[in-house]
Amino acid sequence: MKLITLTGLLLIVVPIAFNATFFLLQRAFEYPDILRKPTDYVLRRFKEGGAPLRRLWYVFAFSAVLFTPVPVMVGQVFQPDAPWYLVVGTTIGVLAGAVQFLGLIRWPFLVSSLADMYTQPEATQATRDSVVVVFQAFHRYAGVAIGEHLGYIFTSTWTILLCIAIVGTDLVHPLFGWLGIIPAIGVLMGVFEETGFKAAGAINAISYILWSVWLMAFGIALLLSASVVE
pLDDT tens for each residue of 180-218: 999 999 999 999 988 889 899 899 999 999 999 999 999
What radius of gyration do the chain's Cα atoms show?
19
Res. 75: pLDDT tops 70: yes
pTM: 0.93
Judged against a pLDDT cut of 70, whether residue 230 lies above it is answered with: no
Contact 8, 216 (CB under 8 A): no
Q: Is the pLDDT of residue 229 over 80?
A: no
Q: What pLDDT shows up at residue 1?
A: 63
Alpha carbon distance 43, 125 (integer Å): 15
User: How many Å apart are CA 209 and CA 97, to the nearest integer?
Assistant: 16
- CA 170 to CA 92: how far, in whole Å? 23
pLDDT computed for residue 228 by the predictor:
61
Mean pLDDT for the chain overall: 94
How do the domains of the chain map onto residue ranges? Answer: 3-229
Contact residues for 216 (Cβ-Cβ < 8 A; gap 6+): 11, 12, 15, 16
Distance of alpha carbon 46 from alpha carbon 223, whole angstroms: 41
Q: How far is CA 34 from the centre of its chain?
A: 18
pLDDT, mean of residues 94-107 = 97
How many Cα atoms within 13 Å fall on the side-chain side of residue 39? 18
Q: Given a cut of 70, is residue 108 above it in pLDDT?
A: yes
pLDDT at 220: 96
Percent pLDDT > 90 in the chain is: 88
